[in-house]
Amino acid sequence: MKALIDAARAVRENAYAPYSGYKVGAALLGKSGRIYAGCNFENASFGAGACAERVALGAAIAAGERRFDAICVCGGDLSVTPCGICRQALAEFTNNNNLRVICCAPEGDEVREYTLGELLPFGFTLKA
Ligand code: THU
């Protein structure tokens, strides 16, 4: 998972977060082995920005990848986890919510790992 963590940390540097000051990087590992990176970007019209996780997800979808093994999220410290909307967005593309969610700080060896199912029990689905 080092490559995934490195990718999340690297793309976090590109985050555009002048309003919150909170930079986030995300790196999504596709079943193909490819990694898709995204960072948050904000806007003077606050609702026009997006979270790092959904930017990474969009990059993956645009590349044709729809199944994933893991996502690494790098925020300001270890307490970062994907927001509720991003959890729901990721759930659309996982089986049984078994996506690994690896959360890390910009530096240090420690990570916190969850499954998407732990973070989003009873997420919305149209499937029976
Ligand atoms: N943010 C993310 O990019 N991912 C998350 O999981 C939580 C929040 C961003 C949105 C906003 O640009 C900033 O962090 C502060 O909320």
**Domain segments of the chain as ranges:** 2-119
Mean pLDDT of 35-53: 98
User: Helix (H) and strand (E) counts for the chain?
Assistant: 4, 5
Q: Residue 128 has what pLDDT?
A: 67
Q: Which residues are catalytic?
A: 53
Phi and psi of 22, rounded to 5°? -110, 105
- Report whether residue 60 contacts ligand 1, using a CB cutoff of 6 Å: no
pTM, to two decimals? 0.97
83, 101, 112, 119, best to mutate for ligand 1 pocket (most atoms within 8 Å of CB)? 83
Q: Provide CATH code, domain 2-119.
A: 3.40.140.10
- Report whether residue 94 contacts ligand 1, using a CB cutoff of 6 Å: no
Res 55 pLDDT > 90: yes
Res 38 pLDDT > 90: yes
* Cα distance between the two ends of the chain: 34
What is the whole-number distance in angstroms between the Cα of residue 77 and the centre of ligand 1? 13
